[in-house]
Structure 1
Amino acid sequence: MHATGSRPKLVVSADGRGVVSHAGSRLLADLADATGLTTAFTDALRQLRPRGTGHAPGRIAVDLAVMLADGGEAIADLALLRDQAEVFGPVASNPTAWRLLAGIDPTALGALRAARATAREVAWLQAGERREAIPASRAGGRELPDLVLDIDATLVTCHSEKENAAPTYKHGFGYHPLLCFLDNTGEALAGLLRPGNAAANTAEDHISVLDAALAQLPDVHRHGTDILIRADSAGSAKAFLAHIRGLRSRGIQASFSVGWSITEPVRRAIRQLPDQVWHPALEQDGTLRQGAHVAELTGLVDLPGLPEDTRIIVRRERPHPGAQLSLFDLDEGMRHQVFLTDTPYGEGSLQHLEVRHRAHARVEDRIRCGKTTGFGRFPSRHFQVNQAWLELSLTALDLLAWTRILLLEGELAAAEPKKLRYRLLHAAARITRGGRRLHLRIAVTWPWRNELTSAFACLAALPRPAT
């Protein structure tokens, strides 16, 4: 009989040379250089150059973003880059990185955001050179003509006393950041770090995040493309919707699709609807959604104080097991969800508008990925440092998004960070020298060696911004 589960016998030692891990993360570092992000960060943080270290501040910030994109959780994880100098070059010490973060005040933070916008414009131009520019967002089996911005908040638990951390509405303790993602590409456009007790529907915070997100878009897209802003019911504050409508006076063709609370007038209107006005709802692939219907409530519910031509639409559906139902839903035997939109009649059926709004749920996946890319843990007791950390976390998410858009094909071009790390970023390799050149040799048995080498080849072919 043969023994089962046997493995080769190993003798383990710590004397290997010329071996590197996480070799694929060099892609991210080089991509930051190729898009001009490193240079833009250095210009933005020029006043913070650490004395006597020789490290450019922009390079330190990029190294922190690369570490976060690679899955690092703390500044100490910079050791992975620092101890592989043959691949990543000189990397700042932990104290130097801490000093840089501590020096990023509101003025420097604004400069960092402007630098991200500059690099984003370059990345989008590079995407236009390589393929059909920015991909379209999809809903209901069809492409949307808009750039789609998704705004949502999340709770981040703090396990120690940190400045401005506070009790949350879910009886936890920590922060309550508000974030905006571009659904077309998964880029993290903007984020606002807030205390844990910050209200979910604060119009001022939504306006601040939206304006910061719009500032991240290249001007030709900000003023030349229709922009759809989606949010849950926390985004239905009248002042926020009025702000979106007011963007049109600035040449920004913005519209909204936001959740709405089911109030007593809404309940009465739903009960008045005859069966023949309910239309079958759609799945995200365009097929019919079993047991779900949509109907228009416009004209049946007063919407005082909201922008002119705002429409109100409702979906009802047989509740899935475990769904949280209101007393109204229990009484009706259906789960109801309501949203507002200012999309005019004739620019999409009810079913399309509803499935387009429901696609806002993708932002929850983006936030989940973001929590594994930096903002699931904040490193400092000081709020200002944690604000800078959030900005670098958003930068890390951008680097991953640009990697998918610019360097990858097929399945990996739509992969989440976890898959990219497992298959590409964490690949091991050997460093060899020959012909006066340094060679990074990916293992010939690595299952995704061709995808990784192809990504490096695409990176080398990217047009560089003028200096």
Structure 2
Amino acid sequence: MSADGRGVVGHAGARLLADVAEVTGLTARFGEVLAVLRQRRGGHDPGRIAVDLAVMLADGGEAIADLAVLRDQAQVFGPVASGPTAWRLLSKLDSRVLGELALARAQAREIAWAQRIETHGGLPQTTAGGSTVPGLVLDMDATIVLCHSDKESATPTWKSTFGYHPLLCFLDNTREALAGMLREGRAGSNTTADHITVLDEAIAQIPDVYRHGTPVLIRSDSAGCTHGLLAHIRSLREHGLDTRFSVGVAITEPIRQAILTAKQHSQWVPAVDTSGEPRDGAQVCELTGLVPDDGYPAGTRFIVRRERPHPGAQLSLFDTIEGMRHQVMATDTPSGDPTNGPIQYLEARHRAHARVEDRIRTGKDTGFGRFPSRAFAINQAWLQLALTGIDLLVWTQMLLLDGELAAAEPKKLRYRLLHVAARLTRTARRTHLRIAETWPWATDLAAAFARLAALSQPIT
């Protein structure tokens, strides 16, 4: 083994991410927003630094020092800023600048969606209970990010750990990370103001052509079942948005009494699994009319699911006595609408909210599982760049890949495409990346670069 190889580079596939940022206009728009932060004419473009950080996070980097992987391969990634330069940029990204960067990301998303429609005919559709869910589906959820050192606003959490408690919103159709808010560890799970802020930021990321006239379903666990949030979702209809909610409901004493009443007098029907087939041992029933109004928006329906508990399930005392595990959800999807289906479908549609756990799990491997600074403001900026990195991965998949790779989680995508080695050759004043022909996914990567070159370019 010797360390004298020449013309060989690693992480060659990550060049796709940087190019996707170019063809969607993200790099140009970040450059426009951050132009005022440029210190000298010959220095690094701040917008390009921000994109390089997002590419690094999408590629699996965990710290600013990991920019060295891109910086030391200038033949592939061009000039990349040093760690101290990147630190200085992050320290200048206040809430106003982050808001402008979010607007720039929304503009790039509009182009990415237009390119997707042009090449594939439409956006991916989400499914539940064996049926297609019409329109767009937004999933909100919070998670705990552990901190192993003292950081500003890192506090004890409700799980008796220490760290942050960010609140996030993902688009289930595409897996894009629409919005996120970094919060201190003791932030409440069902804080109405935080949910409204993140939801509004997420909706602002949706292009106008989809925001108005397209059904938008907002899903959350019981943390989102607050009168303030549900009323806000309802109020969005006054602004031309066709919004509905589907949220979990905590099983309180009135809910328990409604379940007992339904047990005696209501008709239970078999629940369905993800493919729409009856699920053995699970039933659903509508509780609407049995649950006290208690300030819920008009038209709110309640649906309960009961099933035999699986081994190891954590049951409440009520579930232990009844011998069944119960879960309740609320929605304002009206009954009698053939496009929305029976209560089995509505309950299965809500349970599909669990997919957001996968988005958060993979997101923690794409930047927001580890925050680099003691300063809260820098960590806020880091979260937004991590969400940008997640978007770059999703846009790469939905525009350039197909089959298994189009649905692969980031870890698999990195292992098969992004981290591939290649040889650099120069012919006729052009630089070529040559991937080993025996690499199993070499043709997939070559095809992705070909599709990238064929995409319509934004007008600058």
TM-score range, shorter chain: over 0.9
- Indicate if the aligned counterparts of 1:50 and 1:96 stay in contact, CA closer than 8 A: no
Alpha-carbon distance between aligned partners in 2 of 1:269 and 1:377, rounded to the nearest angstrom: 43
Count of residues in correspondence between the two structures: 456
1:202-281 residue pairs with structure 2 within 5 A?
Answer: 202-273=191-262, 274=264, 277-281=267-271
Q: Secondary structure of the residue that 1:369 maps to in structure 2?
A: helix
What SS class does the counterpart of residue 411 from structure 1 fall into? helix
User: Normalization by structure 2: what TM-score?
Assistant: 0.98
Deviation at 1:320, TM superposition (A): 1.1
Shift of 1:306: 1.0
CA RMSD of aligned residues (A): 0.9
| 1:66-145 mapped onto 2 (5 Å cutoff) | 66-145=55-134
The 5 Å alignment of 1:277-296 reads: 277-296=267-286
Any unmatched runs of 5+ in structure 1? 1-11
**Once the two structures are aligned, what percentage of the paired residues are identical?**
67
Opposite residue 65 of structure 2, the aligned amino acid is: A
CA distance in 2, matches of 1:126, 1:13: 45
Specify which of 450, 457, 460 is matched with residue 464 of structure 1: 457
Q: Distance in 1 between matches of 2:39 and 2:312?
A: 54
Which residue of 362, 365, 370 corresponds with 1:369? 362
Cα shift at 1:381: 0.5
Q: Which residue does the alignment assign to 1:181?
A: 170
The match for 1:304 is 294
The question of 1:320 aligning with 2:310 is answered yes
TM-score (norm 1): 0.97
Tell me how far apart the structure 2 counterparts of residues 435 and 51 of structure 1 sit (CA, whole Å). Answer: 34
CA distance in 1: counterparts of 2:19 and 2:293, whole angstroms: 51
- Separation of aligned partners in 1, 2:259 and 2:390: 41
Q: What corresponds to 1:455 in structure 2?
A: 448
For the residues of structure 1 that align with 2:303 and 2:176, how far apart are their CA atoms?
29
3-state SS of paired residue (1:148): strand
SS at match of 2:190: coil
- Find the residue that maps to 1:277 and give its secondary structure: coil
Aligned to 1:14: 3
Aligned ranges 1:371-386 → 2 under 5 Å: 371-386=364-379
Tell me the alpha carbon deviations over residues 232-251 of structure 1, each in whole angstroms, 9 at most, x when there is no partner: 00000100000000000000
Q: Separation in 1 of the partners of 2:407 and 2:126?
A: 13
2:247 maps to a residue whose letter is: V
Q: Deviations over 1:121-174 (max 9, x none)?
A: 000000011012211111111111120000000000011111111000111110
Q: Summarize the alignment of residues 40-59 of structure 1 with structure 2, pairs less than 5 Å apart.
A: 40-51=29-40, 54-59=43-48
Is 1:410 the equivalent of 2:403?
yes
Name the CA distance, whole Å, in 2 between partners of 1:367 and 1:62: 21
SS of 2:237's partner is helix
Aligned to 1:167: 156
**Cα offsets for 1:323-353 (capped at 9, x unmatched):** 1110000001111000100000023200000
- State the AA in 2 paired with 1:112: L
Gaps of 5+ in 2: none
Deviation at 1:322, TM superposition (A): 1.4
Query: Is the 1:50–1:57 Cα contact (8 Å) retained in structure 2?
Result: no
TM-superposed deviation, 1:54: 2.0
Equivalent runs, 1:142-157 vs 2, <5 Å: 142-157=131-146
Aligned residue for 1:45, secondary structure, equals helix
Q: Secondary structure, in 3 states, of the residue corresponding to 2:281?
A: strand
More off after superposition, 114-123 vs 269-278 = 269-278
Letter in structure 2 aligned against 1:330: T
